Amino acid sequence: MGFSDYRTALVTGASSGIGAATVRRLSAEGLEVYAVARDAARLSALSAETGCRPCAVDISDLNALAALAKSAEFDVLVNNAGQSRRGNILDTTAEDVDALIDVNLRAVLHLTRLIVPGMARRDRGHVVNISSIAGHYAFGGGNTVYHATKAGIHSLSQQLRVDLYGTRVRVTEISPARVETEVFGRLLGDLAEAKRRFFDDYDALQPEDIANSIAFAVGSPARMNVAFMEVLPTQQVVGGLNFAQKSRPPAE
């Protein structure tokens, strides 16, 4: 398998960042790409650029997902859409929990159950799940619910390979570290401030780096399944050990 064996792809979170870069990359390989996101204007511009099929869909809408899954026989599914929130479990809200689970995990599970059985029947297909290093490592500054949902994507990817045993449907999990997208700007409510704080002084990954990683996995020969790929900026590490000092009684 590889690009010559695939005709159609569905990419979520396609209006910007990793999703838009992936639409461009897969379109360049000759696939008919269904680009899924809520921003119809951005999707229209992306369609004019790449020839992709724009699908203005809220992926938390199950009926919309079911209709989308019936619109084509998809050979490649890229579960990329994701959200985060500020804060941790000590100050998160019910809305934060529900929104992150709906977008980051529930929608992925639904699209997988709606699309992958067809891949299995045809004995052809590739599922690419975009997780995050947040799903594998605990660190300060991350949103607890986000970490939990991305850990769920990791578990799903592992189990899905077991469920598809005996078929030629491949499953790849790609786990990026810091990528220069709009995510940080949305969290802060200020794209310029996010660029200054998180990117100007750092050599972060670019969305095209992840799109190229996806293309490497999807374009690999049939005998080869790139099961897991952790992609970090060269200057970023995930290790480190912090140890808080014991509290001391106040001096008299």
Instruction: End-to-end CA distance of the chain: give it in Å, rounded.
Output: 74
Catalytic: which of 6, 34, 146, 165? 146
The whole-angstrom separation of Cα 141 and Cα 158 is 27
Query: What value, to the nearest 5°, has the Cα angle with vertex 176 and ends 214 and 143?
Result: 140
Q: Nearest-CA neighbor of 1 among 230, 226, 246?
A: 226
Amino acid in the structure at residue 215: A
The amino acid at residue 192 is A
Beta bridge partners of 229: 174
Which tokens hold the place of 34? 């269904």
- Rounded CA gap, 89 and 145, in Å? 7
Cα 55 from chain centre: 17
Burial of 170 (0-12, 13-18, 19+ CB in 10 A): buried
146 a catalytic residue: yes
What are the catalytic residues? 146
